[in-house]
């Protein structure tokens, strides 16, 4: 399944990776990513799965999507209740902590987005979220903390920068399938994407000794070290001219 997904995603995304040796090192890793769009966990998940045994932490609603849900269950995904759909579990943090800690103790790596939602601005904002702080504060012995800077997806149809609001996952997925075949599979214009893996274990554990706000500010500075990312719009058909699209007006003041 992983080779097939990698092949399909590679039709659209040209991924450049920095720090891959960090990912290949032995031992469990808590992998903390910024979250530009709905597609980056899939891209990262497929990439990480080729190098180490891992568990994703993801909203429970994705488990109900055909095919994707089956893949996530095969990866023993840790499901998070969905606040926007009225399913907020008061014990969600305890469940995340339990699922993640068990996976790490078994030597498996875990992929989680500290923000808990896709970005609504060109920079990552974690705000008052607490899962990453709790996890790093209680990290099992010999587990590394890996920060991942994801770039290139702000402006994707999977991002808020496409229409100024959260894209509908299933509708966007179906559009992606249509574009794949409309471009004869092999000719879909490619979007440049970057993954930068950095071992932040020592600094993250030091910052985690402070309060949650201090820790989250540290992560935000890590993710936003290169400043606000400009929205990039890539055409969806190889036989069309370069895409011209206006940045959503409601995001200008963000």
pLDDT tens sequence across 209-224: 999 999 999 999 999 9
Confidence grade of residue 86 (pLDDT, cut at 50, 70, 90): very low
- How far is it, in rounded angstroms, from Cα 76 to Cα 87? 20
Please determine, for residue 10, whether its predicted confidence score (pLDDT) is greater than 90: yes
pLDDT in tens, 44-80: 999 999 998 888 888 888 777 777 778 777 777 887 8
Which residues have C-beta within 8 Å of that of residue 195, sequence separation ≥ 6? 15, 16, 17, 18, 43, 44, 47, 148, 149, 150
Average pLDDT, the chain: 91
Please determine, for residue 132, whether its predicted confidence score (pLDDT) is greater than 80: yes
Strand order in the sheet with 29-33: 13-18, 191-199, 144-151, 29-33, 109-112, 54-59, 78-80
| Contact by Cβ (8 Å): 114, 131 | yes
pLDDT in tens, 228-241: 999 999 999 999 99
């Amino acid at each position: 399944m992983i080779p097939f997904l990698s092949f399909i995603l590679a039709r659209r995304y040209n991924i450049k990776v920095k720090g891959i040796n960090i990912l290949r090192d032995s031992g469990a890793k808590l992998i903390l990513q910024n979250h530009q769009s709905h597609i980056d966990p899939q891209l990262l998940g497929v990439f990480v799965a080729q190098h180490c045994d891992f568990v994703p932490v993801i909203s429970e609603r994705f488990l109900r999507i055909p095919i994707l849900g089956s893949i996530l269950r095969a990866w023993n995904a840790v499901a998070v209740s969905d606040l926007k759909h009225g399913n907020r579990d008061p014990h969600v943090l305890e469940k995340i902590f339990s699922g993640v800690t068990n996976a790490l103790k078994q030597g498996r790596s875990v992929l989680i987005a500290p923000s808990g939602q896709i970005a609504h601005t060109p920079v990552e904002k974690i705000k008052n979220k607490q899962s990453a702080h709790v996890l790093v504060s209680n990290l099992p012995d010999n587990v590394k903390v890996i920060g991942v800077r994801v770039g290139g997806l702000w402006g994707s149809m999977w991002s808020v920068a496409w229409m100024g609001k959260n894209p509908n996952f299933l509708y966007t997925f179906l559009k992606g399938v249509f574009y794949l075949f409309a471009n004869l599979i092999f000719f879909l214009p490619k979007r440049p994407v970057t993954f930068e893996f950095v071992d932040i274990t020592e600094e993250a554990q030091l910052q985690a000794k402070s309060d949650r706000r201090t820790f989250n500010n540290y992560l935000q500075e890590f993710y936003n070290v290169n400043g606000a990312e400009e929205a990039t719009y890539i055409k969806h058909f190889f036989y069309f001219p370069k895409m011209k699209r206006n940045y959503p007006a409601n995001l200008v003041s963000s």
